[in-house]
Structure 1
Amino acid sequence: MSIPKFTMSKQVRYCTLITLNYHPLCLLLNQNTKFSDIMKLIKIGWRRNLKSLRLFKPDGTEVEEGDLINIKRGTTLYAELSNEDIKPNIIQQQYDIIKKIGEGGQGIVLLGKHKNTKELVALKVITLKTWQGQETKGISQEQQILNVLDHKNIVKLHQSYVTQNQREIIMVMEYLNGGSLLNQANSKLSEGDAKSYSKQIVDAIAYCHENNIVHCDLKLENIMLTAPNSKEIKIIDFGVSSYAGQQILTDSVVGTLSYLAPEVLSSQQYKCIQPSQDVWAVGCIIYGLVFGRLPFDGSNPSETYRNIIQCNYGIPKKNVSIELKNLLSQIFVNHPKERLNIFDIQNHSWFKEQPKLFKLPFRNGRSSSVSKLNSYRQYQDEDQIIVVSQRKIVCSRRSITRCDKVLFFNKMK
């Protein structure tokens, strides 16, 4: 996409101007640039006549007109336009909108900054018109569930609003900027680090199940690090979550295929929401963190479907603990009643096992331990090759949000 340019005299620095619903503009700043010049650029590039303009840096700091001279080359600036159509009144009154940080089937997620406290928040805007045929009660269930949950590893809901015209629900949530665990699973993550992340996930889901709540869409993308250098995680996106035992009224598959339990794919068994489906997804997440790929992913959705139904998975690493293999074998069980529950997983020996150190006996001269070390390194190299070769499979898996189950089964067969 070409970026329109607005020519100013004494060109000095190239910057990028971004706002919601419009393509980026190339902004040329010099020592004489004023807000009025930028508004002229917006009139040409975005065809918007503005009475006022506010600019923000990526970290949420507001840029005053006098600060333009200090903006460095290559900086991205976010423009808040007056009367922006996408912003409900409540957001205009309390928050400065910096940028869009996410988008899904329910709506969009915006990065906002409170005008008084300067706190950065995530604003999830659910547009009711995108949920045709559903009750408002069902749409607002996420906020009801988050109001109940209070756990250090679950995203916090600060406030929620329904706009005056009843067309949108807005949830003000804590802002997590460390990225998803999918990025960690695609790297060379040690079993110890995978265990540290997994324990937080298991503790959070155990808390949910204690409160009779099933997430229903657990996956690496829905687990966020709180900050770039942090090891603390929080589970997000309770948009399709429900209460255990709640009857399934429609023939629909909700979730992501690679993480779906066999009973969810079976029209005969999946009559109500079951905690066992979260347990299966937790097993997929643990597997993904340790091995860098998902356990049942095939070359196409049909193969993935068959692998799930048949519990067909492998152990691509040689140097993993027996306890981990044992845990996975008790999670990936076809019948949900024979599967471990989340509390069994909490107490499993894998989480109590201490990391084993690789020791070499040192001797004078050449030793057979050298060959052992070389063999150990070779296993590590092979594992790394396997992880790298599977990255495309992890990133290319398909997601099923809400689709007709009958048609889906016909395609799989």
Structure 2
Amino acid sequence: MVTDDSIEYTQEATQSTQQASQSQPVVQNEAHLWGFLQPCSSELTRIDLWKSIPIYQFGRNENKTAGNNIVFPGLKISNIHCTIEWDGREDINSTITVHDKSSNGTFINGARIGKGQYGILREGNEIAFGTPHPQENAMEDYRFLFRLTAGGPPVTGFYKEYDVGQQLGKGTFASVYKAIHKETGQWYAVKIIDLSKVRKPTEADANGKPKSKTSTFGREIMILESLQHPNICQLKEAFFQTEIKTINLVLELVEGGDLLDYILKRGGVVEAEAQHLAYQICDALAYIHSRGIAHRDLKPENVLLTKDSPPVVKVADFGLAKAVDSLTMLRTMCGTPSYLAPEVVTQTSSKEGYDQIVDSWSVGVIVFSMLTNTSPFLENSKLELMPRIVQRSIDWYTLENCGASPYAVQFVRRLLETDPSRRMTLDQARFDPWLQQYTKAY
């Protein structure tokens, strides 16, 4: 162990390099490294793992006698937390092992190794010290993306084409990072999905592209790549990295935040702007419906906005519901029941045609929320999910007395129709009187 070269992650240690870590990945000659840890938090700096030091010890104890090469002062870090060891091989078969010695845990892709146990750390894995969840104090968010460089620069797959920067967000099934295309310098967002969540994983070729165009997931990805609409967050390409059990989706980078934050910051949206946003959402959804795709998880968090004034809508996270297990209707409804149509929750119908009409209900909830800055529903939050959804009613009084026009109220009523056979489709919604001024000729 080389204690003289230990690094302590304090505010002072990161201030000088904070700006660089926020803007772009560090690009440098990495021949002297066997790997590095790219922080998920913009407040921390990259940790280089030198070939001259094959074993790194991580922990909270600053005392040199403890032997920690990397010091994390957070309270969830043990005095001696773990070691990460390189086997010395300088090829693609080099192996990195993690020995967990902690009380709160060391995690690889969210899975706890276990005190006294060993785990293998692979290229592109996320390793977390103390907790796998994002922390309010970014200085104590010890989650990192591991990059293996012992065998030289990658010659195939995602990391050949892209370099990864800071984490933009983390969900239950995926993490999103800012990434730069090495050749063009264009910025994108990359969503890294745990491959174990895919119902029918597809085989990939040497470049990480799906071998079979007929496999369920590969076919759906190719359909999404073909979609072109100004109000859809464009999927540029996908990489299937079966050896590390991830799928990397390279997406258009949208940096204006999401609709939920937009509504909350303004205490609601004035009707003229609500029309502007609603038309774009309806137009995007009508387009994907015409291609046989339903969103099924539409909510303000999935409606991204550009920095333009007024903002341009970019609908995201659609079309993967059938392919990714954790995005199925059943699991989704546990998290965001307000935006799901009643027939989804009660599962009273399995007709294929209802897949797309559920999106109309979600748009109705979103427009109601934009106009009133509140939920549409009067419900008993103490009840279990199904009886709560079945028994709830819509707070029409609030909508009718928020200053919205009669056309706006009628628009929402047509979308929040309980009977799916009578509910307005989103193609019809584009030609509703409330949105008539925005309707485009095709």
Tell whether the structures are fold-level matches, with TM greater than 0.5: yes
Q: Name 2:191's counterpart in structure 1.
A: 124
Q: Which has the higher helix share?
A: 1
Runs of 5+ unmatched residues, structure 1 = 28-34, 52-73, 244-249, 355-413
Runs of 5+ unmatched residues, structure 2 = 1-7, 23-36, 59-68, 73-82, 89-138, 203-214
Q: Name 1:392's counterpart in structure 2.
A: none
CA distance in 1, matches of 2:38, 2:383: 38
1:282 to 363, 369, 386: 363
Contact in 1 for aligned 2:294/2:355 (Cα 8 Å) = yes
Q: Name 1:313's counterpart in structure 2.
A: 395
* Identity percentage of aligned residues: 24
CA distance in 2, matches of 1:146, 1:155: 10
Q: Name 1:401's counterpart in structure 2.
A: none
2:412 corresponds to 1:328: yes
CA distance in 1, matches of 2:405, 2:385: 26
For residues 345-371 of structure 1, give each alpha carbon's deviation from its aligned partner in whole angstroms, at most 9, with x where no partner exists: 1111111379xxxxxxxxxxxxxxxxx
Alpha-carbon distance change, 240 to 14 in structure 1, aligned in 2, over 3 angstroms: closer
CA distance in 2, matches of 1:191, 1:112: 36
The Cα shift of 1:202 comes to 0.5
Show the 5 A alignment for 1:42-191: 43-45=69-71, 82-83=147-148, 90-131=157-198, 134-136=200-202, 137-140=215-218, 143-163=221-241, 165=243, 167-186=245-264, 187-188=266-267, 189-191=269-271
Q: Tell which has more relative contact order, 1 or 2 (C-alpha 8 A, sep 6+).
A: 1
2:383 corresponds to 1:302: yes
1:266 to 341, 346, 364: 346
The Cα shift of 1:171 comes to 1.6
* Paired residue type of 1:329: R
2:301 corresponds to 1:236: no
Contact in 2 for aligned 1:311/1:333 (Cα 8 Å) = no
Contact in 2 for aligned 1:296/1:304 (Cα 8 Å) = no
**Secondary structure of 2:311's match?**
coil
Q: Name 1:400's counterpart in structure 2.
A: none
Question: Alignment RMSD, CA only?
Answer: 4.3
Contact in 2 for aligned 1:80/1:98 (Cα 8 Å) = no
CA distance in 1, matches of 2:44, 2:437: 55
Q: Name 1:364's counterpart in structure 2.
A: none
Alpha-carbon distance change, 209 to 12 in structure 1, aligned in 2, over 3 angstroms: closer
**Secondary structure of 2:261's match?**
helix
For residues 225-268 of structure 1, give each alpha carbon's deviation from its aligned partner in whole angstroms, at most 9, with x where no partner exists: 1236551010000254459xxxxxx9935442111111112233
CA distance in 2, matches of 1:242, 1:219: 18
CA distance in 1, matches of 2:337, 2:201: 26
CA distance in 1, matches of 2:190, 2:233: 13
CA distance in 2, matches of 1:322, 1:261: 23
Contact in 1 for aligned 2:165/2:178 (Cα 8 Å) = yes
CA distance in 1, matches of 2:200, 2:166: 29
**Secondary structure of 2:377's match?**
coil
CA distance in 2, matches of 1:83, 1:166: 12
CA distance in 2, matches of 1:151, 1:193: 21
**Secondary structure of 1:269's match?**
coil
CA distance in 2, matches of 1:346, 1:312: 23
For residues 258-309 of structure 1, give each alpha carbon's deviation from its aligned partner in whole angstroms, at most 9, with x where no partner exists: 1111111223313435221011111111111111122126462738755653
Aligned length: 310
For residues 211-237 of structure 1, give each alpha carbon's deviation from its aligned partner in whole angstroms, at most 9, with x where no partner exists: 121111111000101236551010000
Contact in 1 for aligned 2:167/2:177 (Cα 8 Å) = yes
**Secondary structure of 1:224's match?**
strand
Contact in 2 for aligned 1:180/1:223 (Cα 8 Å) = yes
**Secondary structure of 2:192's match?**
strand
**Secondary structure of 1:329's match?**
helix
Show the 5 A alignment for 1:365-380: none
CA distance in 2, matches of 1:323, 1:218: 23
**Secondary structure of 1:338's match?**
coil
1:339 to 411, 419, 423: 423
Alpha-carbon distance change, 92 to 353 in structure 1, aligned in 2, over 3 angstroms: closer
Is 204-213 or 14-23 further displaced after alignment? 14-23
The Cα shift of 1:20 comes to 4.1
The Cα shift of 1:93 comes to 1.8
For residues 55-103 of structure 1, give each alpha carbon's deviation from its aligned partner in whole angstroms, at most 9, with x where no partner exists: xxxxxxxxxxxxxxxxxxx9xxx99875279x98633322221111122
